[in-house]
Structure 1
């Protein structure tokens, strides 16, 4: 923060200064994930308006200068003076923490924003933020620099580096134009502060499109347009769905349907005691009556994967919470009772199904709407309101009972199929457990000795040990000399392993390379995978830095995603980052030459340009590594394997999901989506990206 702040805004800046000092507390992190979280905060304000029935269009534009703009046609941020502070509504919303229209339940029956910090946090972490509001027949505007209101002296195009003059005696909400009386809405454009966010943090277009599509599913009739103007060819995507979460389930489902998509809806009331601000400015504990609306769409398929998405007021809760606990309990209790009633027909005996038996093949979208939900932290990943659990469980039990007691032929047939599937899963689980307890399977996964080609490490400390999956025998020879034999083990694989996306489990187990990887890691596969039995703390995929290497890495990620997913969930799978080029800088006299490694063509270009500018000579031609086997042992150790100097890229769940999605598209059984992708993408092919 600069030192020329005016005394008038000292209290505002004290609050926002806390945000700048500890941004992770409010947005989770300062990398691309935190940058995206800021964008969600602004978009969700517009979505909250749409949830209330105000406005049905939202547009998001990523500008070439790094800024992002969000527009809506809702009511517009209030522009009148807020009596307690004497500031305009716009300034209160964008400069005061814990201020907004989400507290008293008067302006919003249900909203994603509830802490009143979203807009002000984004403002505090922005180098510049501009707000324009259409309201009352006028267009009002205000600008901020790192949270402080003032005026930018723009010369044409708005820029965060333009001269800035802060307000001193009184803030001014400027009128910059006129609009029709019926036209209302808000436009927010901001530039993220490079002092806060890490170098390389960028808006992720795929993640933005996925979130926009998800929101359009959750708010039927809402149109969301995302425009990316940063590339050579700006492109725009628009999402609008009238079918709501039923369409969302059909979109998410990875397998053929066993049942139709069922809607389970209902509501419940509860009371909670919360502090409410009285007229005298004191917080008074008050008992309030709340209503919670529940809307769930479920569908069972012929497969075995479970896809579950949960939301509170359209805010995703990836780590669940009380609503998801209620769903799990309600569904488990109801289906257990149904199986017990039909035990004779189903030949279920006295055994009871477990959660995994019931959720096999389930695709579900769970949404609840309630005023002022309690989340764990500003990132809103877990719902904490305890009363929601019983309400959701009750709605699930009641709606499922209506479905199972229906006299319609389709409902009766699908209910019977579902019970058959659950019982079959239960029997398979019990049989597998008994089989495992009575005898050891002498197959590729549980043979008494490890593969001969494994070059193991000496240490038995799992936390410190690392398994490098190496591409080819030539790279293995170099890696043997480059490794730390105390902690680093090597497993070579020959060429490209099986594409497990469309292969059966038996084909995967009979594939020598897949079986070796599962056997060496030693924790099993699929549902029986036990991460506590894994023999290595890290698994590092070390493939060549070319197209084939990327292909092999993607195949391996697909294997881990489908059969050893807990390794990815725990953050124990990594990709090594070997260099592409080696530049030898020749120093004059007896001074030894310097070696510079680069990891992309763009980085090589920058390095060579810098050397030319400094009049430094370098060996020509530049050495380009076509494979790991071309590197000397000391070069491989210093750049890729030595813990003191290497760079590792941690694989997260979205990486693995993307790998699975790409392989399903490019190598799956469905031909039509692949043909459509090739036709649509042909004009974007870059010859330079082909490794020829």
Structure 2
């Protein structure tokens, strides 16, 4: 550092130097995320062509040498000379920042590319980039090394490179079939720029490709991964558009069909327009904004929203999402107020979370030259779009509520009942959270009378056993450690919350008791920090009915108290199936061994027979927890020193919910198909009957 500071200390970065010096400004980061951003800059150029009606297939190939190739059959990058620079269109696109066909020249009505830096940034950050263009019956080709055009002596990125000295040359590499146009780009990311562990994520690539195929109906995107010995290929094409996308995203059964809300409007904005003289003149231009929204409400409480501008995802929202949510609030509040008496609304008001609960929405707008915040385009900033989206959604939703069709009337009625039930659940949960805390011995408790609580106030050390039946409860009372183990009995099988509404669930005594005892609320209002117990242990009989009850309970936890499962605080007790008393000769006391499956029992008996030992007949088989005495239940299932617990993980709960929806849900056809196709695959040994 020196105190001297004059003009010769200033640096002027020319052309692509700025990109290589500060790559994060253009692609966000230089790790795997930035590497994927570069790939999507290239793919989005092909997608913009498909959006304009040019080309219906894009191929993406991850080569074994670390390069990636993108091919399309669109119009092809222009190969003629751009008059201002004297360079070919290909060289302008790949070497000049802020150069392209998306600045309002009429080539694209709406596109994802805006700033003209995508391809040139990728070129600047590539060790080698090769481009081939089929156009005018010829195949034109050009190569670049870290953004500089020239020729390579071989096919590898580290081949000898010779830059052009006098003028660049777009060479003719072959002939193209008549009428065939398209572009092929293959590049090797520069390891001087990207971190060593930066790599292409196939799962992320497939997810984004699937998303794009939903947004551009009829476009096929093929991904081929050649980086392993066994190459894999995945193809995506969807003709149903965003309605199909919303159905794909929905995590629950629907209470409404997928509604399509479409419309358009124009607005004016003042933008600088490049004149023929080269001057920029502020000009008022008229824009058209096309709105297309797919919405559905389901039985759950999770919100899944995806928003897009010209097929570019805007994960942080923007003016289009603000307009959408404002319209939902306005319409549903008005409709619920009109039906306040029937819905028993009272004086409470709907909030945004009540309306968004169970919503799956895909929101797309198409706008020429939208205003984004930064090159990463995560937030839409065009102000006029907010009101246009709000007007379209308001008009279409009001028309749906006013529709005389029987299906529309039924679904809108169910929707109003759902949002009001969500509001009441939110208010109830808030009131419950404010009043429900662990009580000490001197305070009265408003907890269910059938709860047998523990004495400890240490949440981390305490355990709640949800016990099947009153008979098991009696034994468990004697077997538990009353210092830290609490018991809550449930009668039989609780409500199937997979197909029940929230109000039905809250109205069910068993479900309400479980939620009240745990003390953290349910659904969106669930607060893990206020849970009254460190572990929740499901203790049911080791038979089919016990497994069914455990599945019902898991479905309740998965749908309405999922953070407990995600935190690893839900367990299943593992009670034994058999008790074997091994008889010893003389005065040596008999030995008791417990087994947990028929296979384990037979293996034990075989070992005893082989060693000449005898056992007491008949071997006791427990039909339920109530058949054990307190000592046996404590030793095998409740005492921390000898018990076995199975931690329930989210994947287990998801599988249980999937199977439960199949076997017990509202949709009959998949269940019938499953029974017909799979009944022969069941093993009788797996059925406890």
Match of 2:283 in 1: 286
| Aligned pair partner of 1:449 in 457, 478, 486 | 457
Q: Distance in 1 between matches of 2:124 and 2:209?
A: 25
Alignment match, 1:142: 142
Structure 2 gap segments, 5+ residues each = 1-10, 440-446, 463-496, 500-504, 532-553, 568-648, 664-669, 675-689
Matched, 1:664 2:648: no
- Is residue 414 of structure 2 the alignment partner of residue 417 of structure 1? yes
Cα separation, partners in 2 of 1:193 and 1:502, compared to 1, 3 Å: farther
Partner of 1:408: 405
**1:147-183 alpha-carbon deviations (Å, 9 max, x no partner):** 01000001xxx21101000111100000000112300
Q: Deviations over 1:237-273 (max 9, x none)?
A: 1111111000001111111110111000001111111
- Give the SS at the match of 1:114: coil
Equivalence map 1:533-552=2 (5 Å):
none
Q: CA deviation at 1:82?
A: 0.5
Number of the residue aligned with 1:85: 85
Residue matched to 1:203: 200
| 1:28 and 2:28 aligned | yes
Q: CA deviation at 1:134?
A: 0.3
Q: Which residue of 1 aligns with 2:51?
A: 51
User: Does the C-alpha gap of structure 1 residues 145 and 111 become closer, same or farther in structure 2, counting only changes over 3 Å?
Assistant: same
Judging changes above 3 Å, is the alpha-carbon distance between structure 1 residues 347 and 560 closer, same or farther for their aligned structure 2 residues?
closer
Deviation sequence 1:638-685 (CA, Å, 0-9, x none): xxxxxxxxxxxxxxxxxxxxx967963587426799x99xxxxxxxxx
Shift of 1:22: 1.3
C-alpha displacement at 1:435, in angstroms? 2.9
- With the length of structure 2 as denominator, give the TM-score of the two structures: 0.67
1:273 counterpart residue number: 270
Distance 1:209 1:50, change over 3 A: same
Aligned to 1:179: 176
Cα gap change, 1:110/1:22 in structure 2, threshold over 3 Å: closer, same or farther?
A: same
In the alignment, what sits opposite 2:603? none
Task: Give the secondary structure class of the aligned counterpart of 1:329.
Answer: helix
Which residue of the other structure, out of 318, 321, 326, is the alignment partner of 1:321? 318
3-state SS of paired residue (1:14) = coil
Q: Does 1:239 align with 2:236?
A: yes
Cα deviation 1:598-617 (Å, max 9, x = unaligned): xxxxxxxxxxxxxxxxxxxx
**Structure 1 residues 393-429: Cα deviation after superposition (integer angstroms, max 9, x where no partner):** 0000000011111111101110111001111111111
Report how many aligned residue pairs link the two structures.
497
Deviations 1:285-341 (A, max 9, x none): 111100000000001111111110000001111111110000000011110000111
Matches within 5 A, 1:66-465: 66-154=66-154, 158-440=155-437, 449-451=457-459, 453=461
Q: Residue 663 and residue 225 in structure 1: after superposition, are their counterparts in 2 closer, same or farther (change >3 A)?
A: farther
Query: 1:509 and 1:169, CA in 2 relative to 1: closer, same or farther beyond 3 A?
Result: farther
- Alpha carbons 1:353, 1:426 under 8 Å: kept: yes
Q: Deviations over 1:538-583 (max 9, x none)?
A: xxxxxxxxxxxxxxxxx9xx98997459x99xxxxxxxxxxxxxxx
Secondary structure of 2:16's counterpart equals helix
The CA deviation at 1:531 is 9.9
Distance 1:132 1:531 in 2: 56
1:17 maps to: 17
Whichever of the two has the greater Rg, that structure is 2
Residue of structure 2 in register with 1:578 after alignment? none
Distance 1:668 1:415 in 2: 27
Aligned to 1:589: none
Instruction: Give the Cα separation in 2 of the matches to 1:559 and 1:346.
Output: 28
Instruction: Map Cα deviations across residues 177-211 of structure 1 (whole Å, 9 max, x no partner).
Output: 01123000000000011111111111001111111
Give the Cα separation in 1 of the matches to 2:12 and 2:160. Answer: 22
Indicate if the aligned counterparts of 1:12 and 1:95 stay in contact, CA closer than 8 A. Answer: no
Deviations 1:122-148 (A, max 9, x none): 111111110000001100000001101
Task: Tell me the SS of whatever aligns to 1:47.
Answer: helix
CA separation of 1:226 and 1:562: change in aligned 2, threshold 3 A: farther
Task: Check conservation: 1:502, 1:668, Cα contact below 8 A.
Answer: no
Contact kept in structure 2, 1:51 and 1:219, CA below 8 Å: yes
Inter-CA distance 23–262: structure 2 relative to 1 (3 Å threshold): same
Residues 177 and 667 of structure 1, relative CA distance in 2, 3 Å threshold: same
Indicate the SS of the match to 1:384: coil
1:436 Cα deviation from its structure 2 partner: 3.0
Cα separation, partners in 2 of 1:507 and 1:31, compared to 1, 3 Å = farther
- Judging changes above 3 Å, is the alpha-carbon distance between structure 1 residues 415 and 524 closer, same or farther for their aligned structure 2 residues? closer
Structure 2 CA distance for partners of 1:143 and 1:507, relative to 1, 3 Å: farther
* CA deviation map 1:28-68 (0-9, x unaligned): 11111111111111000000000001011100000001100
Structure 1: give runs of 5+ residues left out of the alignment: 1-10, 455-500, 535-554, 569-658, 677-692
Partner of 1:469: none
Q: 2:14 aligns to what SS in structure 1?
A: helix
Contact 1:404–1:415, Cα closer than 8 Å, also in 2: yes
Alpha-carbon deviation of 1:112? Answer: 0.4
Partners of 1:109 and 1:533 lie apart in 2 by 53
Q: TM-score, structure 1 length as denominator?
A: 0.66
2:417 and 2:337 map into 1 onto residues whose CA distance is 13
Alpha-carbon distance, 1:450 to partner = 3.1
